[in-house]
Amino acid sequence: MFRTPLTLFRSLAVAEAVSWTLLIAALILRATSDLAIAVTIAGGIHGFVFLSYGVAAVLVAKNQRWSIWPTIAAIVSAIVPYATIPVELWLHRTGRLAGEWRLIETADARDRSWHDRLMRAMLRRPWLLGLLLVVAIVVVFVVLLIVGPPGGRA
C-alpha cells in the first residue's frame, strides 16, 4: 500500500487535513447544537491521525535523510490546521520525498549505524513494522486519553 515514502507521507498529510476538518466541524456542531459527543469522536480521530502523521514524518525523514529543518517543518505542520498539505507539496517539489524505501545497505557510512540497520530490517518486514507502529501509537494515544485534553475539560 505504501510502496514509497511519498505515498505514506502524502496519505497521512491528507488524512491529517481531513481530521482537522472533522474536528472543526465538530466544534461548530457543539457550539450550535450543544452536541459535545461530536468533539469527543472527532477529537479522538484527529488525535490518532495526528500521532500517526508524526510517526510517519519521523520514519520518512529518517529514510530520506532529511536535515533537522525539513523534519521539524513536517512535524510542526500537524499543529497548524491544514499545514500538512503545503508542507507535503514543498517536500515533494524539492525532491525530499523522491525515491524508494532504503532496504539495502549501500557504501554510505551512515548505512552502517545501528539505527539505520534497524530501520532497514523493519522496512523489509512492512507488516511487522506497521503492527509495531500501530501498537506504539495506540499506547501513546491511550496514555494521552488518560492524562486528558490540553487545558483540562471544556
- Tens digit of pLDDT for each residue in 72-87? 999 999 999 999 999 9
pTM of the model: 0.88
pLDDT average, residue stretch 124-148: 91
Q: How many domains in the chain?
A: 1
How far is 33 from 61, CA to CA, in rounded Å?
Answer: 42
- Give the residue numbers spanning the domain of 77: 5-147
pLDDT average, residue stretch 121-149: 90
52 residue type, one letter = S
The answer to whether position 153 is within a domain reads no
pLDDT average, residue stretch 101-122: 87
The answer to whether position 152 is within a domain reads no
The answer to whether position 141 is within a domain reads yes
The answer to whether position 79 is within a domain reads yes
What is the residue-averaged pLDDT of the chain?
Answer: 92
- Torsion from C-alpha of 115, 121, 127, 128, nearest 10 degrees: -70
CA distances from 52 to 56, 69, 141 (A): 6, 20, 10
How far is 69 from 66, CA to CA, in rounded Å?
Answer: 8
The answer to whether position 23 is within a domain reads yes
The answer to whether position 84 is within a domain reads yes
Torsion sign across C-alpha atoms 12, 123, 138, 80: negative
The answer to whether position 17 is within a domain reads yes
The answer to whether position 154 is within a domain reads no
